[in-house]
Amino acid sequence: MKYNENIGTIDQYIRYFLAIVFLVLSFIVNLWFFVGTIIMFVTGYFKFSGLYKLLGISTNKIKESSEEDID
């Protein structure tokens, strides 16, 4: 499946940090925080957010037209 990356580097690091925080909270408060851990880690790893796509948001500084030229 081909997709355009819409998460930038800073956003990716924020998501990794939140994944760690949610992981700790899942052990301390409630196991449901583990769902947030998975979501934050997966979206950070693949640099793609479905919600960003629906809202038309992109924090990635690489222009999509230059990505198409490389392929």
pLDDT-based confidence at 3, cuts 50/70/90? confident
pLDDT of residue 61: 84
Instruction: Please give the Cα distance from 4 to 48 (Å, whole number).
Output: 7
Instruction: Please give the Cα distance from 62 to 60 (Å, whole number).
Output: 6
pLDDT of residue 25: 92
**Do residues 59 and 17 lie in contact, with contact meaning Cβ atoms separated by under 8 Å?**
no
Instruction: Please give the Cα distance from 22 to 9 (Å, whole number).
Output: 20
**Model confidence, pTM:** 0.76
pLDDT digits (tens, 9 = 90+) for 4-57: 888 889 999 999 999 999 999 999 998 889 999 999 999 999 988 888 889 988
